[in-house]
């Protein structure tokens, strides 16, 4: 299958926070386990958006309130840690700065360590799930980067199968990898701007129409 964004997804969505990365990976893994995307051989589980009908849970974060979690296999997408690099400014020797507005433009790379818990009451089933998730993420790395705009995906690590820390009735095989993405923001000194607005209001008087026109013109000039 070719992992792609949902047709209902907003076209201007940017992978710029850990939560967006987790939501994207949850969506991709749900696509992999949908009955319509099963390959050969057919997997013994298929995901459905209806909890009563699904053969496997694929959720963002472990849901302790889900009673059926101990009776069916589950894939729980979570995060470990996130780190941001220093501001990236290419070959410039300073952050881009607008002298007129005192606005600085910042652009950095973020990295989030994604942890996918593959749980099952059966030891072998948990190991099989973890192996499938590892293979799928590793083999789909370039497609995921292409369609979702990730900067990079590291090598995918498959950990040993062990009792699940949140439920001793379940076995867990954790899959880990690091997702890299870009994020940006801008900062501006607010106090000089507020002082300028106050000075403008004092100068133009109390005519609301004239005040709005002058403020709009000043905003346009910036």
Q: Return the pLDDT at 204.
A: 53
Do the beta carbons of residue 216 and residue 209 sit within 8 Å?
no
CATH number of 18-83+110-184: 3.30.2000
Residue 91 pLDDT > 50 = no
Give the pLDDT confidence of 181-215 residue by residue, as tens digits.
888 777 766 666 666 666 555 555 556 666 566 55
| Angle in degrees, CA 66, 160, 137, rounded to 5 | 75
- Give the best-scoring range by mean pLDDT among 86-95, 101-110, 188-197, 201-210: 101-110
Give the pLDDT confidence of 119-148 residue by residue, as tens digits.
999 999 999 999 999 999 999 999 988 888
Residue 85: phi, psi to the nearest 5? -75, 175
Give Cα 30 to chain centroid, integer Å.
Answer: 15
Give the pLDDT confidence of 54-70 residue by residue, as tens digits.
889 999 887 666 666 77
Q: Which residues contact 121 (CB under 8 A, 6 or more apart)?
A: 70, 71, 169, 170, 171
Q: Return the pLDDT at 176.
A: 96
């Amino acid at each position: 299958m070719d992992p792609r964004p949902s047709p209902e997804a907003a076209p201007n969505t940017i992978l710029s926070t850990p939560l967006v990365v987790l939501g994207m990976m949850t969506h991709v893994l749900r696509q992999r386990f949908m009955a319509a995307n099963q390959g050969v051989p057919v997997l013994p589980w298929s995901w459905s958006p209806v909890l009563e009908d699904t053969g496997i849970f694929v959720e963002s974060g472990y849901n302790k309130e889900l009673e059926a979690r101990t009776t069916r296999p589950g894939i729980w997408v979570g995060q470990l840690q996130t780190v941001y690099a220093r501001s990236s400014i290419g070959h410039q020797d300073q952050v881009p700065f607008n002298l007129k507005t005192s606005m600085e433009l910042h652009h950095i790379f973020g990295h989030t360590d994604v942890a996918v818990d593959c749980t099952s009451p059966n030891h072998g089933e948990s190991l099989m799930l973890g192996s499938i998730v590892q293979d799928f993420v590793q083999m789909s790395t370039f497609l995921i980067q292409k369609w979702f705009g990730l900067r990079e995906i590291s090598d995918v690590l498959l950990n040993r199968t062990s009792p699940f820390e949140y439920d001793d009735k379940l076995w867990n095989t954790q899959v880990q990898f690091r997702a890299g993405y870009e994020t940006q923001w801008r900062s501006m000194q607010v106090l000089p701007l507020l002082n300028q607005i106050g000075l403008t209001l004092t100068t133009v008087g109390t005519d609301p129409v004239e005040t709005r026109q002058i403020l709009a013109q000043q905003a346009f000039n910036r």
